Amino acid sequence: MLLLSEIQYHPPITFFSQLLGAEALWLETQEHYRKQTYRNRCLILTAQGVKPLTVPVVDGNRSEKVLTSEIEIDYRQNWIHQHWRTLQTAYGGTPYFEYYADYLHDIYVQKPRLLFELNLAFLRFYLRCLRLPLPVQFTTEYLPSYSSASALGHSATGWQDRRDWLTPKAAATAEPDRTSGKAYQQTFGKDFVPGLSILDLLFMQGPAAGSFLA
């Protein structure tokens, strides 16, 4: 199976659940950027509940006229410090925060110019952590729909177009078809909170995180 998706910032756990059994992951590079999506935000769990972390982009008001692969990160805002402090506060006491912290921090301080580059660095890191050795490919033209996997020049037994399948709005309403994987112990609250970033699972389960995707 081939899976086609937009690239996301610290993607939801469900994104990685969809990769189980996939032969390859194709990332959409030719779409126009869309605001208020997982492309530049993720959801984490804090003592105050679910909190979004958003990466600011340059010329945000005009961003929807720019390709996602060309969107630049706005470093005039001190967002890296804010995100990192929030992650430390929310997950500093979890079993595996220190296990992954240096790797994640190293990616942040590289300060890639493009949002796509930042997201890709994190994605490759998560694929290694979850032991998902998938080849990652990139689209070279935008097509609203794909009639077959061969449209991407790839031979596969099946395909799934998952572009914009996951949204922060869907996660907020916990729609059944937008959640997957097994429940696990979380830091805050008594009830399991679905729809969170893969960070939540990694910090709680560490190397065993992959077993919670199915």
Q: Is residue 201 in a domain?
A: yes
Q: Is residue 155 in a domain?
A: yes
Q: Residue 171 has what pLDDT?
A: 66
Q: Count of alpha carbons within 13 Å of 83, Cβ hemisphere only?
A: 24
Q: Is residue 87 in a domain?
A: yes
Q: Is residue 57 in a domain?
A: yes
Residue ranges in the chain modelled with pLDDT below 70: 146-157, 170-180
Q: Count of alpha carbons within 13 Å of 210, Cβ hemisphere only?
A: 12
Q: Is residue 198 in a domain?
A: yes
- Residue at 97: amino acid letter: F
Q: Residue 97 has what pLDDT?
A: 98
Domain tally, the chain? 1
Q: Is residue 214 in a domain?
A: no
Q: Residue 176 has what pLDDT?
A: 42
Rounded Cα–Cα distance for residues 77 and 68 (Å): 20
Among 126, 106, 113, residue whose Cα is nearest residue 8 = 126
Rounded Cα–Cα distance for residues 123 and 114 (Å): 14
Q: Is residue 101 in a domain?
A: yes
Q: Residue 60 has what pLDDT?
A: 72
Q: Which two tokens stand for residue 69?
A: 């692969």
* DSSP helix/strand/coil, 175: coil
Domain that residue 149 falls in: 2-209
Q: Is residue 128 in a domain?
A: yes
Per residue in 42-69, pLDDT (tens digit) is: 999 999 999 999 999 998 778 778 999 9
Q: Residue 61 has what pLDDT?
A: 75
Q: Residue 150 has what pLDDT?
A: 55
- Whole-prediction pTM value? 0.92
Q: Residue 160 has what pLDDT?
A: 87
Number of helices and strands (H, E) in the chain? 6, 6
- The DSSP code for 157 is S
